[in-house]
Structure 1
Amino acid sequence: MRNSLRKSRVISALAIGAVGALALTSCGGGVSDSGGNDSSDKASSKYVEATSGELNLYTWSDYFPDELVKKFTKDTGIKLNVDYYDSNENLEAKLRASDGAGYDVVVPSDYMVEILKNDNLLMKFDSSTLPNGGNIKDDFLDVYFDEGRQYSTPYLYGTTSFAYDKDVIKEDLTSWNDYFNPPASAGKVGIMNDQVEVVNSALRATGGEFCTTDGTELQAAQDLLTAFKPHVGTINSDAILERLANGEQSMAMIWNGAAHRAMQEKPSLTYVYPKEGIALWQDNFTIPSGAKNVDQAKTFLNWMLDPENMAVAVNFQAYASGVKGTDELMSPKLAKSEAIVIPKGYDLAKPVKPCSNEELTNYTKIFETFKG
């Protein structure tokens, strides 16, 4: 998911490591029972708190707790409908096909926020106009993909690597090269349905540069994935933690929060910090340009900037958040997890710059060939 041109360091209670310069407190707000605004109202930065109606949220699979769905409706009177996708590219395709309509809040990763806003698929609203806008951590305000938070508010952030079962795989796996050249004991391996993560990880293993247009580097990544394909059991970003936790797979590419949750069920799993590095990403709440329930959407974004609400997602999803006060509300088990706490001295968890359209075309060709 997840990329940054600006690079600074955030040290949280998790010691989560470097976060690219990827945050204001609550009071006030008008009251609205309406279901939305016309286009001129939607372009304004005015915050009007909604107390009824409905909200259509489109988010990553298994990425918003049912507890929060119920609590949001109880607290606000707004019915929350949730639909799911499994990659930034699927989200992008859906918004392009509908010209930004169909949903009121979507959850793109950092680089995808930049793509969608540049193509006028996101609504500009300025997070500082939200009553809880001041709860955004300072390091999460001037982010490369949305300077000053004019189109988004932070949700959760984490890393992408792979995990494996030490009771099944006796070898010590320490690199992306180990992942793409798995031992026979690994059986069929899981990989995400995410072309950016997959191709970038292959480029890490082969020593190529991200977003490269060099034919030799691209071919090396393609060859690695072609050789890896017979070892693949699933190309799917859904239910990764379940497949690892129940023993269906012994190794899979996975996000660190999902790895933590799988490890609670199967302690023999370990999350790897590869010597070639891992991606540090951030997901965000945004409002599509064609959203119908805009007051409800802004009410939702503001509600999620309350640390008590965001902490429910933090503790359930097992990721850190860019909202002040959530670190203190994190469960002790989560704050000590090896999948969440980046090892001391490991400084290779970094944001990855987004690719241009031309560069992404190369990624798409490689990934589609791999999947085919």
Structure 2
Amino acid sequence: MRRTRRARIGTALALTAAGALALTACGGGVSDSGGEAGGGAAAGEYVEASSGELNLYTWSDYYPEELVKKFTEDTGITLNVDYYDSNESLEAKLRASDGAGYDVVVPTDYMVEILKNDGLLLEFDASSLPNGGNIEDDFMDVYFDEGRKYSTPYLYGTTSFAYDTEVIDEELTSWADYFDPPESAGKVGTMNDQSEVVNSALRVTGGEFCTTDGAELQAAQDLLVDFKPRVATINSDGILERLANGEQAMAMIWNGAAHRAMQERPSLRYVYPEEGIALWQDNFTIPVGAQNVDQAKTFLNWMLDPENMAVAVNYQAYASGVEGTQELMDPELADSEAIVIPEDYELAKPVRPCNNEEMTNYTKIFETFKG
């Protein structure tokens, strides 16, 4: 196991969090009931469910059908899966229902922080789960949920760009290269994601993330306006396919999607830019209005078994903060340059969300870029 690399990633996710908390695990019996609904208070001790149902709300194409079947076979619990396309869609659904309607949801790091701070997630304490000890130490004290009282890790990855080395002769090593692509790149692809695009531009111009400084914002906007004539698509869907089939020679992309594209077109290269890249993590959480809490905690505990989590790792081509999953990775995944962050690369770090005022500035820049 590449412990040094994974520890460094975990430390980055922790940001300025305090030291690990000393938490005590609890035992439990077997339950056929739905368990206690949330109501805002911490849930009771772990009680393993052996029947009933569980309603999972997750990203599109983000949970393997193999695991849906296996979970029911292993636990006797029927797993129903529904899908959303963004953290904001998830947030809107939970706010509209006061945290009811689903038993497990899968927010990204910053959204965990938002939802828990607004009382929409159930406190249950990951260390109280029998498999809670499988969470790697450096993934316990993360900035968005110190001590893992509201979440367990699912998958993590990075956002950068990839290019086709058979089409583009130049070696590209930076976001500056991406925003000023060589002529051989043709027209390139970017994401329909204002945070990722504007933050990447700020990396090049030297501005701070979430800045309100007019000069810094103008510099990022100018860079994007100059970049626009070189852009073929502003679309987060279909990036993998466009790179894999040769429709585009360069595009902003998530590392797991880049890995899958590279399987079809080996000449693609995933870049670790000298200005840094965003490191993100998706997590399992229980909404405060969940009706099947025992089943939800049974699911979270089951997913902390490395053999189960490894199925998701290999299916999605992302890594996990669960001990033992790396040894179970498919060999081509464990050796992938898109998945395995280089040992000497220290610039993959999480990015905190902007507040409303700061995000308004981003929106203006991005709409100018798109327009």
Q: Normalized against structure 1, the TM-score is what?
A: 0.88
CA distance in 2, matches of 1:233, 1:99: 41
CA distance in 2, matches of 1:222, 1:305: 43
Shift of 1:340: 1.9
> What are the within-5 Å matches in structure 2 for residues 30-45 of structure 1?
30-35=29-34, 37-40=36-39, 43-45=42-44
Shift of 1:356: 3.0
Aligned to 2:200: 201
AA of the residue aligned to 1:11: T
Change beyond 3 A, Cα 1:93–1:370: farther
Whether the aligned pair in 2 keeps the contact of 1:192 and 1:236 (CA below 8 Å) is yes
Between the aligned residues of both structures, percent identity stands at: 81
AA of the residue aligned to 2:215: T
SS in 1 for 2:146: coil
Aligned to 2:68: 69
CA distance in 2, matches of 1:41, 1:277: 38
Whether the aligned pair in 1 keeps the contact of 2:43 and 2:124 (CA below 8 Å) is yes
AA of the residue aligned to 1:57: L
Change beyond 3 A, Cα 1:39–1:347: closer
Whether the aligned pair in 1 keeps the contact of 2:38 and 2:293 (CA below 8 Å) is no
CA distance in 2, matches of 1:238, 1:54: 32
> What are the within-5 Å matches in structure 2 for residues 1-372 of structure 1?
11-12=4-5, 19-21=12-14, 29-35=28-34, 37-40=36-39, 43-372=42-371
Matched residue pairs, number? Answer: 364
CA distance in 2, matches of 1:345, 1:94: 41
Shift of 1:28: 5.8
SS in 2 for 1:276: coil
Shift of 1:14: 10
Whether the aligned pair in 1 keeps the contact of 2:108 and 2:283 (CA below 8 Å) is yes
CA distance in 1, matches of 2:8, 2:209: 26
- Give unpaired runs (5+ residues) of structure 1: 1-8
Shift of 1:250: 2.1
- Give unpaired runs (5+ residues) of structure 2: none
SS in 2 for 1:238: coil
Whether the aligned pair in 2 keeps the contact of 1:17 and 1:342 (CA below 8 Å) is no
Shift of 1:363: 2.4
Aligned to 1:6: none
Q: Normalized against structure 2, the TM-score is what?
A: 0.88
Shift of 1:270: 0.4
SS in 2 for 1:20: helix
Whether the aligned pair in 2 keeps the contact of 1:10 and 1:19 (CA below 8 Å) is no
CA distance in 1, matches of 2:180, 2:339: 25
**What do you get for the CA RMSD once the two structures are aligned?**
2.8
Change beyond 3 A, Cα 1:67–1:248: farther
CA distance in 1, matches of 2:359, 2:276: 21
CA distance in 2, matches of 1:186, 1:254: 16
Deviation digits for residues 310-337 of structure 1 (CA, Å, limit 9, x no counterpart) = 1111122222211111122222222221
CA distance in 2, matches of 1:12, 1:345: 9
Shift of 1:138: 0.8
